[in-house]
Amino acid sequence: MHLRRGLVIKSTGSHYRVQCEDGHIAECVIKGKFRIKGIKSTNPVTVGDFVLYEPDSSDTGVIREIEKRKNYIIRKSPKLSRQYQIIAANIDHVLLLATLREPVTPVEFIDRFLVAAESFRIPVKIIFNKTDIYTKKDHVQLKYLSDVYRKAGYDCYSMSLTENIEENLINGLVKGKITLVSGNSGVGKSTLLNIVDPGYNIKIDNISRYHKQGKHTTTFAEMYQVKEGGYVIDTPGIKGFGLIDMEKEEIYHFFPEIFRISEKCRYYNCLHNDEPGCAVKEAVDAGEIEWFRYRSYLNIMLDSNSKYR
């Protein structure tokens, strides 16, 4: 059996487009079971995976093996609580797009995404987009959020992808790296990719006038080659970010500013809920840790399936 190695550059859920090192492209299917740590996912193979496939014609094949992933971003659909979706694998960093209006990105969505990325130490840069339509109040909020996330350790950018487009900045962010572009629907992910290279010619659509929400225009994850090196991955907008089950004891490790202060808690096994001598709660009360980040932490603790001790 002759197997070829390639990179999954597009995934539709049933078909996978695989690109070999020599540029050859094959449309592949999977047969057999692929699982990670016993987790059932809706897409066992994901964009960014390196696979071995068995050609069954010059441009089709069957995926037989997935190479071990360096990292991946996985989410649980909040409604179908046992369904997992691997958004992408083997990425160098994420550009997480967020908007303060049309649509609004909830901060807890950002925080949950950050936790998923932190669990693999994947760097995330937050891009607040659509500043051209922000009100004065939005700009105050933008500064506040940027300060909070910067203090936690995340690079933050604010920009408009339709007015005074900062092409150099965007190209600098994606050059030579494997970049996952993520965020809720309508925040401008595909718009950003089309700025990197108009040749990608990705479909974009207006957000719904009535609901002020995106229309889920991008339906499949797809990886595009960057001329100056690297790849950018466009993904469908995510509705809600359910985290996979984590141990309660590890969740705070994924909030960098909470983790940093936790060593001052009285008890080594403090979960920063209502334990006496909790330095995290003191820092929240003193305004050193932002209350909404702490609220996100508690909410993630609440829906984590593992038991409280």
For tokens 């996100």, what's the residue?
296
Strands 60-66 and 72-76: unpaired
Out of Mg ion, ligand GTP, Zn ion, none, what residue 265 binds, judged by CB under 5 to 8 A for its kind, is: Zn ion
280 binds, among Zn ion, Mg ion, ligand GTP, none (CB under 5 to 8 A by kind): Zn ion
Binding mask 288-307 for ligand GTP (x = CB under 6 A): --------------------
Burial code (b: 16+ CB inside 10 Å, e: under 16) for 182-213 equals: bbbbbbbbbbbbbbbbeebebebeebeeeeeb
61 binds ligand GTP (CB under 6 A): no
CB of 151 to ligand GTP, least distance (A): 25
**How many residues can be counted in the chain?**
309
Give the SS3 label for residue 153: coil
Rule CB under 5 A: say whether 261 interacts with Zn ion.
no
Cβ proximity to ligand GTP, 13 vs 277, nearer residue: 13
Which one of 105, 190, 194, 296 is in contact with Mg ion (CB under 5 A)? 190
Closer by beta carbon to ligand GTP, 191 or else 225: 191
DSSP assignment of 164-201, as one string?
S--HHHHHHHHTTEEEEEE-STTSSHHHHHHHH-GGG-
Torsion-angle region of residue 168: left (phi > 0), alpha (psi -120 to 50) or beta?
alpha
Q: What share of the chain is helix, strand, coil (3-state, %, to 5)?
A: 30, 25, 45
103 near ligand GTP, rule: CB under 6 A:
no
Asked if 43 touches ligand GTP (CB under 6 A), the answer is no
Can residue 162 be called a binding residue for ligand GTP (CB under 6 A)? Answer: yes
Using CB under 5 A as the binding rule, whether residue 283 contacts Zn ion is answered as no
State how far the Cα of 298 lies from the Cα of 38, in Å rounded to an integer: 27
Q: Is 272 near Zn ion (CB under 5 A)?
A: yes
Q: Do the beta carbons of residue 82 and residue 229 sit within 8 Å?
A: no
User: Site for ligand GTP (CB under 6 A): which residue of 46, 119, 179, 218?
Assistant: 218
Distance linking the first and last C-alpha atoms of the chain: 52
216 touches ligand GTP (CB under 6 A): yes
Return d(Cα 35, Cα 51) in angstroms, integer.
14
**Quick one: tokens of 253?**
């490790």
Binding status of residue 265 toward Zn ion by CB under 5 A: yes
* 133 part of the interface to ligand GTP, by CB under 6 A: yes
Position 105 contacts ligand GTP (CB under 6 A): no
Q: Is there binding between residue 75 and ligand GTP (CB under 6 A)?
A: no
Strands 72-76 and 84-89: antiparallel
Cα R_g (the chain), whole angstroms: 20
Give 121 or 209: the residue with its C-beta nearer to ligand GTP. 209
| Near ligand GTP in 184-203, by CB under 6 A | 185-191
Q: Is 130 in the site for ligand GTP (CB under 6 A)?
A: yes
Whether 216 contacts 269, CB under 8 Å: no
Would you count residue 132 as binding ligand GTP (CB under 6 A)?
A: yes
Site residues (CB under 5 A) for Mg ion? 189-190, 217-218
Site residues (CB under 5 A) for Zn ion? 265, 270, 272, 278, 280
Site residues (CB under 6 A) for ligand GTP? 129-130, 132-133, 160-162, 183, 185-191, 204-207, 214-218, 236-237
